Structure 1
Amino acid sequence: MAHTIANKEKLILRIKKIKGQLNSIEKSLEDEKDCFKILQQISASRGAIQSLMSEVLDGHIKEHLGNHVSEEQREIEIENLATLLKSYLK
């Protein structure tokens, strides 16, 4: 978890921005804004979430699958990661 702790403030800031984007989508729906604008907001939010996932995933791979990890632990981490990615990509 050292990789998320080291980037904690940066990651939290990104999450706050994503929350703002989601709140904006909710307000746009409540205010019955143009559907194309809402779709753009949804697309931007999805991109922000994917970017967050990518950043945390990159740190996870480096931290938990690096040369300093035992072969047994690496196998466990690979299985966990494969399960996570299957779920994420559904």
Structure 2
Amino acid sequence: MSHTSRQKDKLISRVRRIKGQLEGIERALDSEAACAEVLRQIASVRGAVNGLTTEVMEDHLREHVLMAETDKERHQGGEEMIAVIRAYMK
């Protein structure tokens, strides 16, 4: 079982909050809210997504690198994390 499966409810809850924040940005834009308010809401979404990303990355490292049973599994988990970090940093 994957670590994301074990924490599914917690992660889905975070995603739903982010979805609500994005909908708030849409409403703010639709109602022509002040740009400072829209920017504040965008910053909040960015922080929430970064927090979610950090949590999943940390769990991946713990489960698939630090607790891997074989060197092959550890290497694969590390390579997966490198690919994710590269994509994240683009």
TM-score over 0.5 for the pair: yes
Which structure 1 segments of 5+ residues have no match?
none
How large is the RMSD of aligned CA atoms in angstroms?
Answer: 1.2
Give the corresponding residue for 2:33: 33
Give the corresponding residue for 1:10: 10
Q: Deviations over 1:13-36 (max 9, x none)?
A: 111100000000011111111000
Give the corresponding residue for 1:49: 49
TM (normalized to structure 1)?
0.91
Give the corresponding residue for 1:79: 79
TM (normalized to structure 2)?
0.91
Rounded to whole Å, the distance in 2 between the matches of 1:83 and 1:54 is 15
- Structure 1 vs Structure 2: percent identity of aligned residues? 38
Report the Cα offset of residue 56 of structure 1: 1.0
Letter in structure 2 aligned against 1:55: E
- How many residues matched? 90
Rounded to whole Å, the distance in 1 between the matches of 2:55 and 2:63 is 12
Please say if residues 18 and 45 of structure 2, whose CA atoms lie closer than 8 Å, have aligned partners that are also in contact.
yes
Rounded to whole Å, the distance in 2 between the matches of 1:77 and 1:34 is 45
Rounded to whole Å, the distance in 2 between the matches of 1:88 and 1:2 is 21
Q: Are 2:58 and 1:58 equivalent residues in the alignment?
A: yes
Q: Deviations over 1:12-62 (max 9, x none)?
A: 111110000000001111111100000000000000000011111111111
Give the corresponding residue for 1:19: 19
